[in-house]
């Protein structure tokens, strides 16, 4: 069999959409994408490798330009044939869920990997390791999986008529969308629907996952992010629905929020982050005997709430959030408002530990100043050579998402430390000199030393983002704040 015939065989064998009588129809549909001259045989039974061969046919037949975006869009359209339609995916998922929630998520995640919506091959390119710091182990990843934007695609997008469909990459209208220059293909994308707080929400996986089963929970409505009592209730309801997953929300303000504040959504998945393992440093009183509360030994200022009663957790979390929104302490540069502009919000994370529900509430402040124009509680200038982007939900919990530029740059730092010819970036120079001065650098230890130093810088990044520092003044101010929570 040639590649089209093999792929059609795979579709019929693995998909509830099609039967043997659909074979000719499928052959012609794929020919419509890649051209009639498709007698190639890639000598493989791997469906993704066959898909890649068919995309190459499309290029060779002149059906598509040879650009990363066009190849990806065509590949996703081919994989769409091998993916059950949304109604079938949802029906199968919820039938499995009625017996075992974990079996249902296993099915959905496997489907999203098999049809290449979750880009497992690209994700394997990421650099990932764990390193010890003063706050326990920190997880470092250098994100190499997301494709770079193609200059030809950028130029083509400039000539496109303005298109507001879908409104953003989190809208449900992305399901099955064919993509366009400057906007990713979602032809093989599927979303699980469910009810949350009396509204329709969707559950999907992230194409370029940052951890195992990286899930996204998104509102059907295209409305801005907000943190309030409803948020805490939603997060705990999701944990009840999928107890094997954590779920959290980015903050709802610029600088301390995520990269997409225009669409209400949460992130979750099957991963235990360093912050979750951090101990309680000090027990506090939040005015409810049914809730255990404490300050977490973590660089960002975090209050951990635990209870079997989710209603009590929601009440306690709301009290913390509302109190923090209006709290100021000039002694530690904490200001709730300047010129009637709000600066305070929280980053909440929910998960289950044994038979207890847990809510970690991280206090955030997005002020700027003349000294810190990027943010007072944002990575300061001396660490921006490693990390200058916003500190969002995933990084709050101790997993660094570092830019791809660092892979070659750190290699040059290693050569500099070994006194070899190098092209070290100027903004790494001071840091590299400090490493050289304080370590005995050898060929067999230089990589480990640099890795550990990157982790220490990221720990400092998190300390910069913490509103109450781990010093006498900071902890005294934290105590003043938590004392307010005792009141009913």
| Residue 443 placed within a domain | yes
Q: What global pTM score does this model have?
A: 0.93
Read off the tokens for 482: 């938590």
91 domain-assigned? no
Looking at the structure of the chain, the number of domains it has is 2
In the three-class reduction of DSSP (H, G, I as helix; E, B as strand; rest coil), residue 155 is classed as helix
- Does 163 map to a domain? no
**Cβ distance 459 to 130 under 8 Å?**
no
Angle between helices 3-14 and 23-34 (to 10 degrees): 130
Residue 487 lies in a domain: no
Residue (of 339, 325, 360, 291) closest to 481 by Cα position: 325
Domain assignment present for 296 = no
Domain boundary (37, 65, 85) is at 85
What's residue 1's pLDDT?
83
Tens-digit pLDDT profile for the chain (488 aa)? 899 999 999 999 987 789 999 999 999 999 999 999 877 888 999 999 999 999 999 999 999 999 999 999 999 999 999 999 999 999 999 999 999 999 999 999 999 999 999 999 989 999 999 999 999 999 999 998 876 544 455 445 445 555 689 999 999 999 999 999 889 999 999 999 999 999 999 999 999 999 999 999 999 999 999 999 999 999 999 999 999 999 999 999 999 987 788 999 999 999 999 999 999 999 999 988 899 999 999 999 999 999 999 999 999 999 999 999 999 999 999 999 999 999 999 999 999 999 999 999 999 999 999 999 999 999 999 999 999 999 999 999 999 999 999 999 999 999 999 999 999 999 999 999 999 999 999 999 999 999 999 999 999 999 999 999 999 999 999 999 999 998 76
Locate tokens 């497992």: which residue?
120
Q: Is residue 377 part of a domain?
A: no
Q: Residue for token digits 């599927």?
A: 190
Handedness of CA 120, 124, 126, 130 (dihedral sign): positive
The contacts of residue 18 (CB under 8 Å, 6+ apart) are: 11, 12, 26, 81
Measured distance CA(462)–CA(393) in Å, rounded = 12
Predicted local confidence at residue 161, as pLDDT: 53
Q: Domain for residue 103, yes or no?
A: no
Please give the residue range of the domain that contains residue 8.
3-85
The pLDDT value given to residue 159: 52
Last residue of a domain, one of 85, 107, 139: 85
| Residue ranges of E strands in 135-279 | 136-142, 192-196, 199-205, 215-219, 246-248, 265-269
Among left, alpha and beta (phi > 0; psi -120 to 50; other), residue 269 is left
The Cα–Cα gap between 459 and 383 comes to 10
Under 8 Å CB-to-CB from 87, ≥6 apart: which residues? Answer: none
Closest listed residue to residue 131, CA positions, set 453, 401, 462, 385? 453
Instruction: Kindly report each contact of residues 480-488 with a partner whose C-beta sits within 8 Å and lies 24 or more positions away, as own/partner.
Output: 480/329, 481/323, 481/324, 481/327, 481/329, 482/284, 482/285, 482/295, 482/303, 484/323, 484/327, 485/284, 485/285, 485/286, 485/287, 485/293, 485/319, 485/320, 485/323, 486/285, 486/286, 486/287, 487/287, 488/287
Q: Is the separation of the CB atoms in 145 and 122 below 8 Å? A: yes
Domain boundary among 66, 85, 104: 85
Task: Give the DSSP H/E element, type plus range, for residue 357.
Answer: strand 356-365
pLDDT recorded at residue 38: 78
């Amino acid at each position: 069999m040639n590649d089209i015939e093999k792929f059609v065989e795979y579709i019929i064998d693995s998909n509830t959409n099609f039967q043997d009588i659909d074979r000719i129809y499928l052959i012609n549909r794929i020919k419509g994408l890649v051209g009639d001259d498709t007698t190639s045989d890639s000598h493989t039974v791997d469906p993704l490798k066959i898909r890649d061969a068919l995309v190459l046919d499309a290029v060779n037949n002149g059906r598509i330009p040879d650009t990363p975006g066009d190849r990806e869009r065509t590949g996703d359209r081919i994989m769409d044939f091998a993916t059950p339609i949304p109604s079938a995916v949802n029906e199968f998922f919820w039938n499995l869920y009625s017996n075992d929630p974990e079996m249902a998520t296993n099915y959905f995640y496997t489907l999203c990997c098999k049809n290449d919506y979750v880009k497992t091959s690209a994700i394997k390119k990421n650099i990932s390791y764990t390193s010890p710091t003063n706050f326990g182990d920190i997880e470092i990843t250098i994100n190499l999986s997301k494709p770079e934007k193609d200059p030809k695609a950028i130029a083509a997008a400039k000539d496109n008529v303005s298109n507001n469909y879908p409104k953003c990459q989190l809208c449900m209208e992305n399901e099955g969308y064919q993509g366009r220059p400057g906007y990713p293909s979602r032809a093989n994308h599927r979303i699980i629907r469910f009810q949350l707080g009396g509204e329709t929400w969707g559950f999907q996986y992230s194409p370029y996952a940052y951890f195992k089963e990286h899930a996204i929970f998104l509102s059907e409505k295209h409305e801005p992010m907000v943190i309030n009592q409803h948020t805490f209730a939603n997060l705990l309801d999701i944990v009840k629905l999928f107890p094997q997953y954590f779920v959290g929300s980015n903050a709802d303000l610029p600088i301390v929020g995520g990269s997409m504040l225009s669409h209400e959504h949460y992130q979750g998945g099957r991963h235990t982050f360093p912050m979750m393992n951090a101990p309680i440093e000090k027990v506090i009183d939040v005015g409810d005997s049914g809730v255990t509360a404490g300050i977490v030994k973590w660089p960002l200022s975090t209050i951990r709430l635990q209870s079997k009663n989710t209603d009590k957790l929601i009440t306690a979390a709301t009290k913390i959030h509302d109190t923090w929104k209006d709290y100021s302490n000039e002694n530690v540069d904490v200001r709730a408002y300047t010129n009637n502009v709000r600066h305070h919000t929280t980053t909440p994370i929910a998960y289950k530990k044994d038979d207890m529900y847990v809510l970690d509430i991280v206090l955030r402040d997005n002020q700027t100043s003349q000294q810190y124009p990027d943010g007072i509680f944002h990575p300061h200038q001396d660490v921006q050579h490693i990390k200058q982007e916003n500190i969002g939900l995933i990084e709050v919990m101790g997993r660094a998402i570092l830019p791809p530029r660092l892979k070659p740059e750190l290699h040059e730092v290693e050569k500099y430390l070994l006194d070899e010819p190098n092209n070290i970036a100027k903004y790494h120079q001071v840091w590299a000199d400090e490493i050289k001065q304080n370590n005995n650098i050898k060929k067999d230890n230089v990589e480990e030393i640099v890795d550990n130093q990157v982790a220490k810088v990221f720990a400092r990044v998190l300390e910069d983002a913490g509103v109450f520092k781990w010093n006498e003044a900071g902890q005294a101010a934290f105590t003043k704040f938590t004392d307010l929570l005792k009141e009913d």
